[in-house]
Structure formats: structure tokens, C-alpha cells
């Protein structure tokens, strides 16, 4: 089975030895996204809702590059700097899905890249 690398300038460039996404077979694995505005390459430093919105927009851009949408997502992982942020992140996260929510876990971690409060990774299917 071959793999296809997916990258777009509409999402932040990787900050390490990885790609934004890798497609193999009927699956797309999207690397964790943090709240970096790809237009400025700067961190969004506002409310947790603003951070979560930027993360979701970054995911949307990568999915779009692969000709997919949020309805193709089958699994997400949300990393939070503190579980007290869960409700606000969950509100933004939920607003990007219309139906048939994906499987998910949410975990609080000791630290995230660049000191951000939220990072989200996803797995999507290329077939519905």
C-alpha cells in the first residue's frame, strides 16, 4: 500500500520532521494542529474559543487539500493543557460537525507545542 503526503499553505507548516497529513488506502491521518494562523505564522493568543477555532480551521484546510470534509472524520484526539477548558473547546469543536460525530478522546497533558492550550489530530476516511 502506498502513501501520499498532503500539505497545504492554508494550514501551518510542520514545525518538525512530519507532514500535515498522510493518506494511505482509504484513510487520511492528520497531524495534530495547534492554533497557528497560517497567514501570519503566529500563534493565536486570545480566548480558548479563538484558539480552538483556529485549530479547527487548520484541520479544515488540510482536509480540503485532500478533497475531504469534517463529515469524513472517523476519529479525533483532543489534547488540552487543562481539563477545565473542555466545555469551551467542545462547543467550538461540535460546531464544525453536522451529524454522525466521530469517535473521540480528550486528554489533559502536561504541555503542548509552543505552550498552546489545545491541539487536535484526526483520522478521516476517503469513502463515505
Write the pLDDT tens digit of every residue in 10-40.
Answer: 999 998 999 999 999 999 999 999 999 999 9
Phi and psi at residue 3, to the nearest 5°? -130, 150
Which has the closest alpha carbon to 47: 35, 59, 56?
A: 35
Q: What is the pLDDT of residue 84?
A: 98
Sorted by sequence, the CB contacts under 8 Å of residue 39 that are 6+ apart come out as none
Write the pLDDT tens digit of every residue in 34-92.
Answer: 999 999 999 998 999 999 999 999 999 999 999 999 999 999 999 999 999 999 999 99
- Give the global pTM: 0.97
3-state secondary structure of 9: coil
Q: Going from the N-terminus, what domains does the chain have, and what CATH number goes with each?
A: 3-125 (3.30.1330.40)
Amino acid at each position: 500500500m502506498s502513501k501520499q503526503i498532503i500539505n497545504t499553505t492554508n494550514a501551518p507548516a510542520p514545525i518538525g520532521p512530519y507532514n500535515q497529513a498522510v493518506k494511505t488506502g482509504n484513510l487520511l491521518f492528520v497531524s495534530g494542529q495547534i492554533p497557528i494562523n497560517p497567514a501570519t505564522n503566529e500563534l493565536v493568543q486570545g480566548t480558548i474559543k479563538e484558539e480552538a477555532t483556529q485549530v479547527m480551521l487548520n484541520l479544515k484546510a488540510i482536509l480540503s487539500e485532500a478533497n475531504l470534509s469534517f463529515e469524513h472524520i472517523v476519529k479525533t484526539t483532543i489534547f488540552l493543557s487543562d481539563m477545565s477548558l473542555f466545555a469551551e473547546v467542545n462547543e467550538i469543536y461540535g460546531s464544525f460537525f453536522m451529524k454522525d460525530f466521530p469517535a473521540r478522546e480528550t486528554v489533559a497533558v502536561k504541555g503542548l507545542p509552543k505552550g498552546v492550550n489545545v491541539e487536535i489530530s484526526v483520522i478521516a476516511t476517503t469513502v463515505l
